[in-house]
Amino acid sequence: LKRPLRLFPKSSRRYAERLQQGNDRDKCLVEAARRWNGEREGYPEFADAYYQLAFPDADVLDDEFERLSVSVFGTLLSHMEVA
C-alpha cells in the first residue's frame, strides 16, 4: 500500500447505485457528495477521523473515486439478488 484508496463504503455505494439506475455521471457525483458531506443522513462520512487523517485537504470524489466505486460496488450491486 503506497497510498490510501479513495473507496468509501457509503459514498462509493451511493455513486455506484445511482449510476446503475441510469443517472448521468454528474448527478451521481452530486449524490455521492451529499452522502460524503452528510447532507441528508446527518452524520457525514468525511467526519471519520481516519478519513480526515488520510485525506486532510484532498477532494476525494475524483476520477479514482469513480473508478474504484464502479469497480467494487458496481460489481457487487450487479450480482445482488433482490428479494
Closest CA to 35 of 7, 52, 59, 15: 15
| pLDDT category of residue 43 using cuts at 50, 70 and 90 | confident
- Mean pLDDT across the chain: 91
Mean pLDDT on 46-53: 93
Sign of CA dihedral 40, 43, 48, 52: positive
